[in-house]
Chain A
Amino acid sequence: MLEEYRSKNVEVYSDKEWLEADATEERVPEKKTAFTDFTKKLFRHKGAIVGAVIIFLFIFSAIFAPLLTPYDYDVPDISSVLEAPSGTHLFGTDEFGRDILTRIVYGSRISLEVAFIAVFFSLILGTVLGAIAGYYGGVVDYIITSITDIAWSFPTTLLAIAFIAALGTGVQNVIIAIALASWSGYCRVVRGQFLSLKQREFIEAARVLGMSDARIIFGHILPNALTPVVVMATLELPKAIVIEASLSFLGLGAQPPVPSWGVILDSGKGLLDMAPWVSFFPGLMIMIVVLGFNLFGDALQDVIDPNSQ
């Protein structure tokens, strides 16, 4: 019976061609790992190189601060008050005779700590909320989206100041404030990713294969949703550095004698006509580091998603 049909049901291809096609081999896509392709593109990107070098120097100086300078960052030296930049003090000294370069090098530790920890926690918070909202939808989504929209509508710095007002000053509270003020962006991005990914067939397949919600969310959707989150995090790092410096400059963050860049900037603002170097160098450092992170983040975005420019 089947034989009879086999001989009659072929349109374009003859029976032989269609049913015995095993001989034809399908072309298998060329083996190329996505990772090497990615690094190659990144290394060809000028912005990425410049950014990476700046970030490397920044992290390097933060880690090896004591080895890089002969001075202490918090020991006053009456003999060298407000000295202009010279061979002994490259960036000059402040009103207590402390070496500015030393304070900036130690200050990078605070910027680094605040930026990475705050971004890490806001990323976790935003990602988890966004994942729940996007996956479950309905009332849960409505509530989370409403909170996110409210948080999103405030400027991050203003929101951070509000949290500092509630929590009090200090480096630790700055971290908490920045984390609480900047999670909404991740939440929106992750929610959007989940909304589109959960419709994909491989997620439906996971459901039909009897996997639990937690396994689907964390094992299957999240790994596919993280790319834009990583890009976003690299662009959030410089923002966190600026907010920390701003809060410290306003006296709401790190308190003197902690050598935060914002604190050094603040200490020099009354001396601008006598000793401009006290404020100039920390300001320059903030600018260069932020530029480095932004260049790298933009490059990352270009390389990962060339359509999003």
Chain B
Amino acid sequence: MTAKVLEVQNLKKYFPVKTNLFGRGTEFVKAVDGVDFHINSGEILGLVGESGSGKTTTGRTIIRLLDPTEGEIIFDGQDITNTRKKDLRKTYEQMQLVFQDPFASLNPRKKVGNAIEEVLYVHGMKDRAQRRERVFELFDMVGLRGEEDKYPHEFSGGQRQRVVIARALAVDPKLIICDEPVSALDVSIQAQIINLLMSLKNRLGLSYLFISHDLRVVKYMSDRVAVMYLGKIVEIAPAEELFKNPAHPYSKALLSVVSGAGSGRKKKKIILEGEVPSPVDPPSGCRFRTRCKYATELCSEIEPQTKCLGDEHYVSCHLY
């Protein structure tokens, strides 16, 4: 069995929406509400779900941009759930983040090469010539050789995302959390970035947590895929298995709208009724029951347990 690079247990992140007199929360948005998964070394785990399902919050909580409300984050065998901010630098040498919007994630006043040099300096590379050499190496790796001395505004979106990837790679991480890295880019550019991420993964032995709402991209990239709905993972399975035999009614609906998914025959699209319920006051029992056509009384009373359908295929639904 391969080593787990990241293990997340019962992760919860609540944001207070109403506070009482003493500044303590009385009502919460339950953005992430009890999420378990792990990522094996060298694996790409896709995390899909519609907007508001808590995928981005999950990513940000894992990398501790947000403090978890509850749960455990075990990275590379170390519990980093409560590591103090000061001591996170060591963790950040192993785990990095690629942001969604490459126009917002680069400092507009710094030449991109210098920005990466600064990262190397902060992480202990004090020799200037050595830093410079590493910057050249990184830019070469992402296909931007000789572009080190430009400002972010001189680059296109795709090129900027390459710079962001180079910056994440500067510290030589094991795991990169990709938070919708291609959804802000033109479709024709998306493939370039995806191919770059794939080749870097193979070359450097990286693992990714790949957050996206684009099923096509996730299917192409991921080894395993987790489907998130309203703060919970409803189904997690190897990509091939999930796209062939989705078990959870939500996954079925989600996958049915990707034309050509699964086998070649025409399948009927399942259109979900209604809106995503408010994460402040989620439905009792199964969270999907308000939009699920198979919902029974049982679904509103008891929250479904995670069941194994064999071969690493887990689902949380009373149907199984």
Q: Which of B104, B154, B187, B189 contacts A31 (CB 8 A)?
A: B154
Kindly state whether residue A10 has any CB partner on chain B within 8 Å. yes
Q: Are B156 and A11 in contact (CB under 8 A)?
A: no
Q: Would you list which residues of chain A between 1 and 46 have a CB under 8 Å from chain B?
A: 1-2, 5-6, 8-13, 17-22, 24, 26-29, 31, 34
Kindly state whether residue B319 has any CB partner on chain A within 8 Å. no
Q: Interface with B: A77-85, A161-169, A208-216, A255-263, which one?
A: A208-216
Q: Are B219 and A9 in contact (CB under 8 A)?
A: yes
Residues A205 and B97 in contact in the complex (CB < 8 Å), given A8-B261, A220-B107: yes
Q: Which residues of chain B have C-beta atoms less than 8 A from A224's C-beta? A: 107-109
Q: Are B104 and A29 in contact (CB under 8 A)?
A: no
Kindly state whether residue B259 has any CB partner on chain A within 8 Å. yes
Q: Are B240 and A201 in contact (CB under 8 A)?
A: no
Kindly state whether residue A204 has any CB partner on chain B within 8 Å. yes
Kindly state whether residue B61 has any CB partner on chain A within 8 Å. no
Q: Interface with A: B24-32, B85-93, B269-277, B280-288, which one?
A: B85-93
Kindly state whether residue A60 has any CB partner on chain B within 8 Å. no
Kindly state whether residue A200 has any CB partner on chain B within 8 Å. yes
Q: Are B167 and A21 in contact (CB under 8 A)?
A: no
Residues A28 and B154 in contact in the complex (CB < 8 Å), given A9-B260, A201-B104, A208-B96: yes
Q: Which of A18, A28, A209, A223 contacts B92 (CB 8 A)?
A: A209
Kindly state whether residue B106 has any CB partner on chain A within 8 Å. yes
Kindly state whether residue B304 has any CB partner on chain A within 8 Å. no
Residues A208 and B97 in contact in the complex (CB < 8 Å), given A8-B260, A10-B260: yes
**Chain B residues within 8 Å of chain A by Cβ, number:** 51
**How many angstroms between the C-alpha atoms of A28 and B159 in the bound complex?**
9
**How many angstroms between the C-alpha atoms of A10 and B191 in the bound complex?**
12
Kindly state whether residue A269 has any CB partner on chain B within 8 Å. no
Q: Which residues of chain A have C-beta atoms less than 8 A from B97's C-beta? A: 204-205, 208
Q: Are B186 and A2 in contact (CB under 8 A)?
A: no
Kindly state whether residue A202 has any CB partner on chain B within 8 Å. yes
Q: Which of B96, B123, B188, B219 contacts A21 (CB 8 A)?
A: B188
Kindly state whether residue B153 has any CB partner on chain A within 8 Å. yes
Distance in angstroms from A94 CB to nearest chain B CB is 52
Q: Are B99 and A201 in contact (CB under 8 A)?
A: yes
Q: Are B216 and A10 in contact (CB under 8 A)?
A: yes
Q: Are B104 and A9 in contact (CB under 8 A)?
A: no
- Minimal Cβ-Cβ distance residue in A for B98: A205
**How many angstroms between the C-alpha atoms of A34 and B109 in the bound complex?**
11
Q: Are B159 and A26 in contact (CB under 8 A)?
A: yes
Q: Which residues of chain A have C-beta atoms less than 8 A from B109's C-beta? A: 223-224
Kindly state whether residue B303 has any CB partner on chain A within 8 Å. no
Residues A209 and B155 in contact in the complex (CB < 8 Å), given A5-B219, A18-B187, A202-B105: no
**How many angstroms between the C-alpha atoms of A181 and B99 in the bound complex?**
43
Distance in angstroms from A113 CB to nearest chain B CB is 32
Kindly state whether residue B15 has any CB partner on chain A within 8 Å. no
**How many angstroms between the C-alpha atoms of A216 and B99 in the bound complex?**
18
Q: Would you list which residues of chain B between 146 and 203 have a CB under 8 Å from chain A?
A: 153-159, 164, 167, 170-171, 186-192, 195
Q: Are B259 and A11 in contact (CB under 8 A)?
A: yes
Q: Are A202 and B107 in contact (CB under 8 A)?
A: yes
Residues A19 and B167 in contact in the complex (CB < 8 Å), given A9-B260, A210-B92: no
Q: Are A215 and B155 in contact (CB under 8 A)?
A: no
Q: Are A9 and B220 in contact (CB under 8 A)?
A: yes
- Minimal Cβ-Cβ distance residue in B for A6: B220
Kindly state whether residue B264 has any CB partner on chain A within 8 Å. yes
Distance in angstroms from B221 CB to nearest chain A CB is 9
Q: Which residues of chain B have C-beta atoms less than 8 A from A215's C-beta? A: 122
26 contacts between A and B (CB under 8 A): A8-B264, A9-B258, A13-B188, A17-B188, A19-B191, A21-B187, A21-B188, A22-B191, A24-B188, A27-B156, A28-B154, A28-B156, A29-B153, A29-B154, A29-B155, A29-B156, A31-B154, A200-B104, A201-B100, A202-B107, A204-B105, A205-B167, A207-B65, A210-B119, A211-B119, A224-B107
Q: List the interface of chain B (C-beta within 8 A of A).
A: 63, 65, 88-89, 92-93, 96-97, 99-101, 104-109, 118-119, 122-123, 153-159, 164, 167, 170-171, 186-192, 195, 216, 219-220, 239-240, 243, 258-261, 264
